[in-house]
Amino acid sequence: MTRILGLLACTMMFACGGDDGGDSATGTTTDPNACDNEILEFYPTDGASDVYYRTTVDFTFDALDGSEAIKVTTGGAEVAGTSAVVDNRVVFTPTDALASSTTYDVELSWCDGPTLTSWTTSDIGDPADAASLAGLTFGLDIGGGRFVEPAGVGALIGGLLEQEVLMGVTAATDTEVGMMGALGDASGGQDMCTESFDFPVAAEFSENPYFIIESDFLPLDVSGVVVEIEDLEISGAFAADGSEIAGATLRGTLDVSTLDSMVGGDTCELLSTFGVPCLPCSGGGDTCLTVFVDSMDAAVKPGVTLEVVTSVEIAANPACGGATTP
């Protein structure tokens, strides 16, 4: 419980020991006419050289006064896109995917601006050979991603979801990619004591190398407690050589009541003290949160081919605590 409260406090104060994304433009002053706002965080970071080509550009503020505006250019030409306010963030979404291996300049206009940043996209974005993807398995590190939602408690949720999720490509064409999923074990392979899960509809792949795929749920073993992320949606882009999935995002709904035993009390009540309310669940109750994670990478797992694992097989597997039928 103490560890979780520490993680939450760290996140809410944006003081977890890393780069807080600030710069000299965020300083305060005693001038009564000066800007009293503050940039708490921004993304992508200034000078980054491996930015995902389908990134958004966002700035998180202490408060918003309506004057904030983001402009993105490359080579002097303005990038088309739309801006939206999400909680205390201003988010710019390009109309089209950005070019790979290209430098972009960002100008943020605000009460203490302008603030300037610049970064370069990675080489991800060139089409992959669909035929070469079939049979490959990728290891998705959810805990290593950027937890955008729920806002302010990413350190808590991310600290709990540390299990590797394996994504296996079962078939691929120029327009669709079939996939299945499973949890990883401690040795880098598939955990044969947890059920695999299906993506019932193939991923849309017409924007090769980008894909987006959906499933009803994602089961996760969190320190021995099985939790599920429902209404799951995962997206990302394959490297042209099939070596990784880059820029992966995950969105879904998490029933945090399953975490009560881990936090030593009512998880929703704990989160409410940090201004994060629980939401209604589709199956009833008010103990759910929308989870959105981006900036995840998934390296290919050489020699790993996923197998379908059912509850019946787990029950009969002695290694899982079951017993084989005589």
Report phi then psi at 157, rounded to 5.
Answer: -65, -45
Rounded Cα distance, 84 and 79, in Å: 16
Q: Is the pLDDT confidence value at 323 over 80? A: no
Q: Of the residues 79, 94, 120, which one is the last residue of a structural domain?
A: 120
Q: What is the pLDDT of residues 183-230, one digit of tens each?
A: 998 888 999 998 999 899 999 999 999 999 999 888 877 766 778 889
Same domain, 114 and 228: no
Return the pLDDT at 196.
92
Residue with tokens 């695999």: 196
Return the pLDDT at 302.
95
Q: How confident is the model at residue 152 (pLDDT cuts 50, 70, 90)?
A: confident
pTM of the model: 0.81
Pure H helices in the chain? 2-13, 154-160, 260-263, 267-272, 311-315
Q: Is the pLDDT confidence value at 178 over 70? A: yes
Return the pLDDT at 262.
78
Q: How confident is the model at residue 317 (pLDDT cuts 50, 70, 90)?
A: very high
DSSP state of 54: T
Return the pLDDT at 101.
95
Return the pLDDT at 24.
37
- More confident call, 31 vs 321: 321
Same domain, 32 and 180: no
In sequence order, what DSSP letters do the residues of 70-115 get, joined into one string? EEEEETTEEPPEEEEEETTEEEEEESSPPPTT-EEEEEEESTT--E
Rounded Cα distance, 228 and 231, in Å: 10
- More confident call, 177 vs 160: 177
Q: What is the pLDDT of residues 221-278, one digit of tens each?
A: 776 677 888 999 999 999 999 999 999 999 999 898 888 887 788 989 988 888 889 9
Return the pLDDT at 240.
94
Q: Is the pLDDT confidence value at 284 over 70? A: yes
What is the domain extent for residue 44? Answer: 18-120
Same domain, 169 and 145: yes
Q: Is the pLDDT confidence value at 69 over 80? A: yes
DSSP state of 132: G
Q: What is the pLDDT of residues 22-37, one digit of tens each?
A: 343 433 334 555 788 8
Q: Of the residues 99, 120, 141, which one is the last residue of a structural domain?
A: 120
Same domain, 111 and 146: no
Q: How confident is the model at residue 58 (pLDDT cuts 50, 70, 90)?
A: very high
Q: How confident is the model at residue 116 (pLDDT cuts 50, 70, 90)?
A: very high
Rounded Cα distance, 179 and 164, in Å: 16
Return the pLDDT at 119.
98
As a whole number, mean pLDDT of residues 300-319 equals 94
Return the pLDDT at 39.
93
Residue with tokens 């937890």: 147
Tell me whether residue 12 is in a domain. no
Q: How distant, in Å, are the alpha carbons of 86, 98, 102, 175, 301 from that of 132?
A: 39, 25, 27, 14, 14
Amino acid code (one letter) for 58: D
Contact indicator for 233, 270 with CB cutoff of 8 Å: no
Same domain, 59 and 176: no
As a whole number, mean pLDDT of residues 157-161 equals 70
Same domain, 93 and 162: no
User: Order of strands across the sheet with 115-120?
Assistant: 77-78, 69-74, 103-109, 115-120
How much is the mean pLDDT over the chain?
85
Same domain, 107 and 194: no
Same domain, 205 and 263: yes
Candidates 59, 63, 55; CA nearest to 79 is 55
Strand 203-204 with 197-198, pairing: unpaired
Return the pLDDT at 31.
54
Residues in the chain: 326
Tally of domains within the chain = 2
Q: How confident is the model at residue 91 (pLDDT cuts 50, 70, 90)?
A: very high
Same domain, 157 and 86: no
List the Cα angle 6/9/11 in 5-degree steps: 110
Tell me whether residue 2 is in a domain. no
List the Cα angle 306/138/257 in 5-degree steps: 85
Tell me whether residue 287 is in a domain. yes
Q: What does R_g of the chain's alpha carbons equal in angstroms?
A: 21
Q: Is the pLDDT confidence value at 322 over 80? A: no
Rounded Cα distance, 139 and 188, in Å: 8
128-133: long-range contacts, CB 8 A cutoff, minimum separation 24: 128/208, 128/209, 128/238, 128/239, 128/240, 128/241, 128/242, 129/240, 129/242, 130/172, 130/173, 130/174, 130/177, 130/205, 130/208, 131/172, 132/242, 133/169, 133/172, 133/177, 133/238, 133/242
Q: What's 46's domain CATH number?
A: 2.60.40.1220
Amino acid code (one letter) for 282: S
